[in-house]
């Protein structure tokens, strides 16, 4: 299917559609109307229709959406119909927590190795996946087709390590270090800051308390 340029806002909502549709599939639901999906997801039916119209709609008037078809198509749009090999740089608390999360594999993200500078981690394995030392990284990248590197190292090291990754062919960085990375055209950085979400929670708590005072 041909897709036109889709806004980042729509793309950012697709994983949520994908998750809900996956749950519906697991529950054996074959089709769903935009109204019913809207009630489940707490977004307006018109938002759903508008979002999905970006890809040709998928729905049929009076029939609703075919859940499996929609799930599969959104999966394709998100690139989840292919596998993506990835590595983790920094096998500390966060790196190991990510490595322990087996569900990434179910979505096609295959963890191939972790890397660290701490010699105490050499030879350690997490779910059978080996932690290697950073001096093995360049050789590893030369012999393995790795698409994504997750950066879970101190922010003081992130820029230098990102440069090494890019020089050695990494095209996508999943950046957890709290620093902005400048990368050449053609390399993608997706930064995750859990604290941003926590701060939004804190904002909402404050708003609620203010509301109660009035």
What does the binding site for ligand NAI look like in residue numbers (CB under 6 A)? 89-95, 115-118, 134, 152-155, 157, 161, 176-178, 192-195
Pick between residue 54 and residue 191 the one whose CB is nearest to ligand NAI.
Answer: 191
Pick between residue 113 and residue 152 the one whose CB is nearest to ligand NAI.
Answer: 152
Q: How far is the CB of 14 from ligand NAI (least distance, A)?
A: 21
Q: How far is the CB of 113 from ligand NAI (least distance, A)?
A: 12
Pick between residue 44 and residue 118 the one whose CB is nearest to ligand NAI.
Answer: 118
Pick between residue 32 and residue 177 the one whose CB is nearest to ligand NAI.
Answer: 177
Q: How far is the CB of 96 from ligand NAI (least distance, A)?
A: 8
Separation CA 214–CA 212 (nearest Å): 6
CB 190 within 8 A of CB 172: yes
Q: Are strands 64-66 and 59-60 parallel, antiparallel or unpaired?
A: antiparallel
CB 41 within 8 A of CB 65: no
Name residues whose C-beta falls within 8 Å of residue 178's C-beta, 6 or more positions apart in sequence. Answer: 155, 193, 195
Pick between residue 33 and residue 179 the one whose CB is nearest to ligand NAI.
Answer: 179
Question: What dihedral angle (degrees, nearest 10) is formed by the CA atoms of 136, 140, 141, 144?
Answer: -170
Pick between residue 34 and residue 175 the one whose CB is nearest to ligand NAI.
Answer: 175
Separation CA 192–CA 190 (nearest Å): 7
CB 32 within 8 A of CB 67: yes
Q: How far is the CB of 149 from ligand NAI (least distance, A)?
A: 11
Q: How far is the CB of 4 from ligand NAI (least distance, A)?
A: 32
Question: What dihedral angle (degrees, nearest 10) is formed by the CA atoms of 202, 203, 206, 207?
Answer: -140
Q: Contacts for 183-189 with beta carbons within 8 Å, 24 or more apart?
A: 189/162
Q: How far is the CB of 86 from ligand NAI (least distance, A)?
A: 15
């Amino acid at each position: 299917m041909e897709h036109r340029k889709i806004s980042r806002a729509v793309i950012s909502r697709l994983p949520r559609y994908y998750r809900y549709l996956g749950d519906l599939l697991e529950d054996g639901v074959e089709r769903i109307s935009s109204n019913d999906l809207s009630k489940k997801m707490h977004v307006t039916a018109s938002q759903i229709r508008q979002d999905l119209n970006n890809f040709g709609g998928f729905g049929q008037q009076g029939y609703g959406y075919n859940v499996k078809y929609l799930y599969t198509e959104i999966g394709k749009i998100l690139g989840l119909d292919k596998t993506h090999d990835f590595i983790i740089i920094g096998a500390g608390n966060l790196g190991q927590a990510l490595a322990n999360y087996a569900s990434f594999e179910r979505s096609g993200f295959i963890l191939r190795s972790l890397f660290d500078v701490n010699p105490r981690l050499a030879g350690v394995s997490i779910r059978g996946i080996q932690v290697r030392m950073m001096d093995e990284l360049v050789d590893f990248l030369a012999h393995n087709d790795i698409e994504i590197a997750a950066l879970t190292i101190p922010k003081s090291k992130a820029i230098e390590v990102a440069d090494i990754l890019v020089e050695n062919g990494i095209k996508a960085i999943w950046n957890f270090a709290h620093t902005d990375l400048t990368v050449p055209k053609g390399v993608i950085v997706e930064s995750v800051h859990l604290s941003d979400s926590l701060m939004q929670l804190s904002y909402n708590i404050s708003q609620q308390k203010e509301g109660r005072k009035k």
